[in-house]
């Protein structure tokens, strides 16, 4: 957790470029309007894709997990009645609050825990998170996936991204995909962790699910295995203190995070 905080603090020195690493925008050259417009386009693509999969989204309450300075949170606030942006870095949350144009229905939360205990069960309609879980050790990323399931309402939709494994590389459970490298804003190589695809499938199945769609995606190159899963939960097995009934879960697994491709990962629309 301390290492993750430190990364967030350093990213906060040039937060827009850290999220969208366009070489021409380094050293705080992103214009806010231009930067946040990319978030609008991103969310439009995500919603469009969900509709193509016949997933009905309730536009009441949404979460942007790993929100950074709110690029996607602000876009979600244009569609949902209430949006919560969650991040671990105080610098990111402070910047997000500064750029918040929807203060009546959008709030940002600094979360220093590996859970979402401040959110009641069955409270959220839509959760979106990209390039966040991959920087956590598997026991924590898997814990958050379970938390996402806990807080989702009946018929809630979850879209998330997590690496599975690097091609041609044998990994043991809980092993990092890449070795830890020192992080610098000029050299944005971050620690990567992955969870094997079968483990993620089992984790979600244990949360009372049924996989209905799996799709390979090569758009991020050949370095990492990429799959898109759609999972529908439609039975009534117990999960924690509540039951799941017809909960829609859209899960995206995508990979590749190095200094040349952070922008591609950040622009989730490239997957479609």
CB neighbours of 89 closer than 8 A, spacing ≥ 6? 5, 7, 8, 9, 11, 12
pLDDT digits (tens, 9 = 90+) for 23-61: 666 666 677 767 788 889 989 988 888 888 788 889 999
How far are the Cα atoms of 41, 47, 87 from residue 56, in angstroms, in the given order?
Answer: 20, 10, 27
- The rounded distance, in Å, linking the Cα atoms of 38 and 93 is 19
- The rounded distance, in Å, linking the Cα atoms of 123 and 62 is 9
pLDDT of amino acid 203? 80
**DSSP track, 54-122:** TPPPP-SEEEEET-TTTHHHHHHHTT-SEEEEEES-HHHHHHHHHT-S-TTTEEEEE--SSS-TTS-TT
Which 3 state secondary structure label does DSSP give 149?
helix
Res. 142: pLDDT tops 80: yes
- Tell me the chain's radius of gyration from C-alpha atoms: 17
pLDDT digits (tens, 9 = 90+) for 125-141: 999 988 788 778 889 99
Q: Could you tell me whether strands 152-160 and 124-129 are parallel, antiparallel, or unpaired per DSSP bridges?
A: parallel
Q: Could you tell me whether strands 61-65 and 82-87 are parallel, antiparallel, or unpaired per DSSP bridges?
A: parallel
- The rounded distance, in Å, linking the Cα atoms of 261 and 176 is 18
Answer whether 148's CB lies under 8 Å from 184's CB.
Answer: no
Please say whether the dihedral angle defined by the alpha carbons of residues 6, 108, 270 and 203, taken in this order, is positive or negative. Answer: positive
Which pLDDT band holds residue 215 (cuts at 50, 70, 90)? low
* Residue 246 belongs to domain spanning: 2-271
Answer whether 197's CB lies under 8 Å from 229's CB.
Answer: no
pLDDT of amino acid 209? 56
pLDDT of amino acid 164? 72
Average pLDDT value for residue range 194-202: 81
Poorest-pLDDT segment among 37-46, 91-100, 101-110, 146-155: 146-155
pLDDT of amino acid 95? 92
Count of domains forming the chain: 1
CATH number at residue 140: 3.40.50.150
């Amino acid at each position: 957790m301390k290492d993750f905080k430190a990364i967030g603090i350093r990213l906060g020195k040039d937060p827009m470029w850290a999220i969208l690493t366009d070489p021409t925008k380094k050293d705080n050259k992103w214009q806010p309007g231009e930067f946040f417009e990319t978030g609008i386009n991103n969310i439009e693509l995500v919603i469009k894709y969900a509709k193509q999969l016949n997933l009905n989204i309730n536009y009441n309450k949404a979460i942007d997990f790993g929100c950074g300075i709110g690029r996607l949170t602000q876009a979600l606030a244009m569609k949902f009645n209430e949006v919560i942006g969650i991040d671990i870095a105080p610098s990111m949350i402070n910047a997000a609050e500064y750029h918040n144009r929807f203060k009546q229905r959008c709030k940002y939360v600094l979360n220093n825990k590996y859970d979402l205990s401040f959110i009641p069960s069955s409270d959220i309609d839509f959760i979106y998170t990209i390039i966040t879980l991959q920087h956590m050790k598997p026991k924590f990323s898997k814990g958050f996936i379970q938390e996402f399931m806990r807080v989702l309402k009946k018929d809630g939709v979850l879209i998330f991204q997590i690496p599975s494994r690097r091609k041609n590389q044998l990994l043991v459970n809980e092993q990092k995909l890449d070795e830890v490298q020192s992080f610098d804003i000029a050299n944005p190589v971050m620690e990567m962790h992955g969870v094997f695809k079968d483990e993620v499938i089992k984790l979600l199945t244990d949360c009372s699910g049924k996989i209905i769609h799996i799709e390979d995606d090569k758009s991020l190159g050949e370095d990492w295995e990429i799959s898109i899963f759609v999972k529908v939960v439609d039975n009534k097995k117990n999960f924690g203190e509540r039951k799941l009934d017809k909960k829609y879960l859209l899960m995206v697994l995508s990979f590749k995070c190095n200094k040349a491709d952070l922008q591609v990962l950040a622009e989730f629309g490239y997957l479609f």
